[in-house]
Amino acid sequence: MSTPPKRQPPRPPLKGSFPLDHFHDCSRLALEYEACLRAHSSVTAQCRDLAKTYLECRMENNLMLPADAETLGFNKEGTSNIDTTKATVPEQATAGAFVAGLRKD
């Protein structure tokens, strides 16, 4: 009979925990964000301001570690730091080959 392998001790998340909102301090904002995503077919660019407001609410109620908006993916104007205007379509998609996740219009 062999000895069982040693288990590694659990480690906390790098950026702290993300506790549940038991007292529903920010649940209204979360519902508004979800409704916005449903209304805009999950296009997060349309709902970015609601996401930022929700995260700010969590920080104010000590449900999240305080962080700058820029470290969370928002720039000072409340839009994303990611430039989506330069999205390119791979050569395979233009050559008629199938590429998962891309729609041919």
Low-confidence ranges of the chain (pLDDT < 50): 78-80, 84-87, 89, 92-93
pLDDT at 77: 58
Give Cα separations from 3 to 7, 8, 9, 10, 87 (angstroms): 12, 15, 18, 21, 53
In this predicted structure, what is the pLDDT of residue 44? 82
Name residue 87's amino acid.
Answer: A
**Domain map of the chain by residue range?**
27-77
pLDDT for the residue 15: 66
What are the pLDDT digits (tens) for 80-104? 455 544 445 455 445 555 556 555 5
d(CA 22, CA 18): 12
